[in-house]
Amino acid sequence: MAESQGYRPNVALKPYTTLKAGGPAEWFQVVTSVDDFAAAAIRSQEDQHDTTILGSGSNVLPSDDGVPGLTILNRTRKIEIKPNGEVIADTGCSFQELFLKTVQAGFRGLEFAVGIPGSLGGALVSNAGAYRSCVSEFLIELEIVFEGRRQWVLPEWMQFSYRDSVLRRADPPQAVVLRVRMELPRGEAKRSYDEAREYQRQRIGKQPPSPSAGSFFKNVNDWKLAESLSSLPSGLKSAGVVPAGYLIEAAGLKGYRVGGAALGQRHANFILNIDNATATDIYRLAQTAKQRVHSQFGVTLEEEVLYLGDWTRIFG
């Protein structure tokens, strides 16, 4: 790689993540158009470099030992909304901005996006959602770069499930999502704004001000466990859903600290960077939460946050 091609070496990633932790990218490039994004991804795949995509950095934790290969910062922003409710959006756009623009155009469906700090691309990788909705239900097609070729694929290619996609799996395909085509139903703006404001009100009551990645762990879908928890709200029992924060708090870890990282006092499923935490501090705190919850409840929490880069020194 060379700086003459737009790459920058050894760029700190802390400023580009909401957790404000982690080491540098070996090589770093910023893209602002979908064509430049595609060209960078094609070149990286043809050269067989490890490629990491960053959007808003809200659901990732780079290793203190850095991220090998090329990290592309996706700053593509274009959103096109057609009169029939078809939306074509670059994956670098803000998920919340996508909601606002679609409501202003007379469509609904993305109200749950309010308060989710990430980009559309990050939302796709983790099939982001809330309040019984998720981003994948509105997709028609995705434009990707895969095996050095730019192409449109159906949503099935992503293998979406609860807070998951093929791009989150172990040894994921080296693919980059450039744009999506969505279809949204007609809606009434006031109703959408009212619904979104209520979601935002609920989030504000839970989310602490310190740097975090939002919810660190996925909720647990386990009917038997839900039924066994006497203090779990009836709505969650009937759905068979146990919030990760409920389990962490019940394990006595609210406010628990490792180095500069702490589990939230307001919401135990938030890992907060309260005192210049390292990525290693955050990772070790997450492992403590997983071990305590497994010991007490027999379930293994699964991270929503993705660990980026070289963790061999920590993982062993």
Residue of 22, 26, 30 whose CA lies nearest to 10: 26
Say how far apart CA 175 and CA 203 lie, in whole Å.
Answer: 32
**Catalytic site includes residue 163:** yes
The residue from 163, 168, 181, 292 that is catalytic is: 163
Q: What is each CA distance from 50 to 102, 140, 149, 173, 252, in whole angstroms?
A: 35, 28, 16, 11, 40
Q: What is each CA distance from 306 to 6, 235, 279, in whole angstroms?
A: 26, 29, 12
What are the counts of helices (DSSP H) followed by strands (DSSP E) for the chain? 9, 18
Which DSSP helix (H) or strand (E) runs through 134? strand 133-134
Please count the other Cβ atoms lying within 10 Å of the Cβ belonging to residue 205.
9
Residue of 154, 236, 178 whose CA lies nearest to 40: 178
Say how far apart CA 64 and CA 46 lie, in whole Å.
Answer: 28
| Helix, strand, or coil (residue 88) | strand
Say how far apart CA 213 and CA 197 lie, in whole Å.
Answer: 21
The residue from 215, 249, 292, 303 that is catalytic is: 215
Angle at 99 between CA 34 and CA 245, to 5 degrees: 105
Residue bearing tokens 């290793």: 63
Say how far apart CA 15 and CA 194 lie, in whole Å.
Answer: 33
**Catalytic site includes residue 304:** yes
Tokens of 279: 């990525």
| Helix, strand, or coil (residue 41) | helix
Cβ contact 193:201 at 8 Å: no
Residue numbers annotated as active site:
163, 215, 304
